[in-house]
Amino acid sequence: MELLHGFVKTSNFYDDINFPNGFNRSGHFTIQESELLTQVGRRLFVLEQGIDVPNNQVEQNFLQTCNHEKDSKTKVERLWQKYKKLTQKRAIHTLSATAKSTNQDNYSETEDSY
């Protein structure tokens, strides 16, 4: 079992949906962050999704960070939070006046009979 930054080494991680040109060409990650995310991202994903269980204390600490039980302290934990922030879908709220006022809102039925 090969470890990388305390995480079990698995196959490389790519996110073609959110980063079709790769992490390193997205403009969001440094070269070092791109390499690290590619190397350990798949393991981080399976841990966070509950597909696999932690094999050591480093992976357990990572899960606690994902569950907001503790603050991120390591480079990997901070990088995963950055990745998650960039890939989360956000609702867009706009201010617009779509409701139209009608005269019926201002009068009762008894007033209309006059």
Helices 57-66 and 75-87: angle between axes, nearest 10 degrees: 30
Query: pTM value?
Result: 0.74
Taking only the tens place, the pLDDT of each residue in 31-56 is 999 999 999 999 999 999 999 999 99
CA distance linking residue 20 with residue 60, whole number of Å: 30
Rg, the chain, Cα only:
25
Q: Where are the alpha helices (DSSP H) in the chain?
A: 31-48, 57-66, 75-87, 109-112
pLDDT class of 57 with cuts at 50, 70, 90: very high
